[in-house]
A = this chain, B = another copy of it.
């Protein structure tokens, strides 16, 4: 029995950067926190963020979308003490269009950048996708650039943000850190963390250090030369945790702070909450390229409802909010807390019908997607070049 199967039998859920599944139909996040050894992000931390930044916590924070962390408190300690930190997030450019799940870390990272006024590096792992998805180098690079436009459309501050593609940027100080990390990690260790097999190609084995090293400021000499080893905070979905467990293990051995993490739930598929959205099934997700009509149709046709089978039963029993996708989606994207509570209460009590909730969701998502589309249409190739230019960010900590 290989490692993957063993995990599957014991725990009935598999979460790694390439697979999110659960035989129970639903990810048990408490179990995941225990297994990974991260911490739950509790209310006191959310309040502390509010106090330190002087602005209301992001909806993803106050509703527990970002629900787990590693050493986020230390980042806040450092920030409070006047020390510097930077943000690091990324994307594997495997498809042309992003879906809503892909937007979540970027929307949240944009909030963190604005709230803490900190620099941000965004890694586009075109090398990873070239290797895992068997894309050509050229196609991976093209997708990276397309995805960069969507990322830029999220509103990042160009004076504080460096976006890079691995194929363009690996080399120099970055490559030296890859070698430093590689020396500290045995093959058995990566097998334990990632479940690689002997039939996997060595590109897979070589990749984890590539995702690790943006956690170390010296990988970006044009940004952090002369800075006193600032800490790194990584907002990401929790399936990326294995990379950073490895990174945190190595960091002190090569003279760096362990990167801190703030980790999100998975955004559920339209069909229900048993995994992430899948790029291979276009009807499992709302894409940022979808029209209002398509969004309406997808929600009405595919969004799994917790409503009852007949109106009579529904009025009597109310909706099962635990499994209802429209309510889940609203809890990610409907910013008005009072309205969300109202919907949950009315719908849960059977006073509101699935159709009404879906209609509200359609409006929320159509607005979100149309806003994104407008922003993306304004992103020029010159802007992509500017964000991706290897350059200092002179006022990045101001």
Contact = CB atoms under 8 A, between A and B. Distances in A.
Contact of A187 (B169, B199, B209): B199
B199 A137 contact: no
Interface stretch (A9-17, A150-158, A200-208, A362-370): A200-208
A59 interface: no
Interface stretch (A174-182, A223-231, A295-303, A351-359): A174-182
B171 A170 contact: yes
A172 interface: yes
Interface residues of A, number: 38
Nearest to A182: B203
A183 interface: yes
Interface string A287-322: 000000000000000000000000000000000000
A134 interface: yes
Interface in A85-134: 127, 130-131, 134
A198 B188 contact: yes
Contacts of A200: 186-187
Nearest to A128: B179
Contact of A131 (B179, B186, B191, B197): B179
A198 B186 contact: yes
Nearest to A200: B187
Contacts of A191: 198
A146 to B, nearest CB: 19
A331 B220 CA distance: 52
Given A187-B187, A196-B187, A202 B175 contact: no
Nearest to A197: B187
B203 A205 contact: no
Given A170-B170, A170-B171, A202 B185 contact: yes
A150 to B, nearest CB: 24
Given A170-B170, A206-B206, A201 B175 contact: no
A76 interface: no
A323 interface: no
A130 B183 contact: yes
A184 B201 contact: yes
A183 B127 contact: no
Contacts of A202: 182, 185-187, 189-190, 205-206, 208-209
Nearest to A185: B202
Given A167-B176, A171-B172, A206 B182 contact: yes
A179 B203 contact: yes
Contact of A188 (B130, B134, B168, B199): B199
A184 to B, nearest CB: 7
Contacts of A190: 202
Nearest to A192: B198
A283 to B, nearest CB: 31
Contacts of A205: 187, 202, 205-206
Nearest to A170: B175
Contacts of A182: 131, 201-203, 206
Contact of A201 (B127, B131, B186, B201): B186
Given A130-B183, A184-B201, 10 more contacts: A168-B172, A171-B172, A175-B175, A185-B202, A186-B201, A187-B200, A187-B201, A187-B202, A202-B209, A206-B209
14 contacts: A131-B179, A137-B176, A167-B175, A167-B179, A170-B175, A186-B198, A187-B187, A187-B197, A187-B198, A187-B202, A189-B202, A191-B198, A202-B205, A202-B208
